[in-house]
Amino acid sequence: MPAKVLLVIGDAAEAMDTLYPFFRLKEAGYQVVVAGPAARVYHLVMHEIPPGWDITREGPSYHLAADIAFANVVPEDYLGLFISGGRAPEYLRYDAHLLALTRHFFATRKPVASVCHGVEIIAAADVIRGRRVATVAKCALDVEFSGGHFVNEGCVRDGNLVSGRTWHDNHLFMGEFVKMLAEAAAA
């Protein structure tokens, strides 16, 4: 049985933030288990900044089913955690089960990847104090208010955490995350 990686989503998770890691991790031989507030189908969205706009425009995208609810996850069964971006983290960060899961992965130093607004979850879990963290620039305040250090780079690794700004950085930080998972599996 391949090692399992938990992929966190909710309604309005960004499609590219979610689907690229979903398939990249499977390609690397991991079993990807999608988790949400409930085991149901979630509506992903597409985010882009159109020419001439200063803010992100959101549009509907694909759908993805969660295999398991956060409350039913046994974190010891997982090798790593991937936290997707989009608007989903705005409300997911209030889920006590998800925050407890997130804290488990940091306390046990298992590999964690976060992209874009996923930082709102790790900030709410209070696990980034003193750490260097990449995220979309408009979430820099979340990092700083939580005691972290915002870094405007496509791939930032600090201990067991690797982070990227947006889906445009998937090719940068996902390679590092896969490497981290392989190191953890070998340990």
Distance CA 143, CA 109 (A): 19
Distance CA 155, CA 171 (A): 9
At 59-112, the pLDDT tens digits run: 889 999 999 999 999 999 999 999 999 999 999 999 999 999 999 999 999 999
Domain hosting 90: range is 4-186
pTM score: 0.96
Distance CA 49, CA 31 (A): 33
Q: Looking at residue 76, what is its pLDDT?
A: 97
Q: How many domains does the chain have?
A: 1
Do the strands 41-48 and 57-65 form a parallel or antiparallel pair, or are they unpaired? antiparallel
Q: Looking at residue 16, what is its pLDDT?
A: 97
Please list the residues that pair with 81 across neighbouring strands.
6, 112
At 160-187, the pLDDT tens digits run: 999 999 999 999 999 999 999 999 999 9
The two tokens of residue 63 are: 């759908």
At 26-62, the pLDDT tens digits run: 999 999 999 999 999 999 999 888 899 888 888 889 9
What CATH code is carried by the domain that includes residue 78? 3.40.50.880
Neighbours of 74 (CB within 10 A): 9
Cα dihedral angle (110, 43, 86, 58), rounded to 10 degrees?
170
| Alpha carbons within 13 A on the beta-carbon side of 74 | 2
Residues annotated as part of the active site: 117
Distance CA 79, CA 51 (A): 40
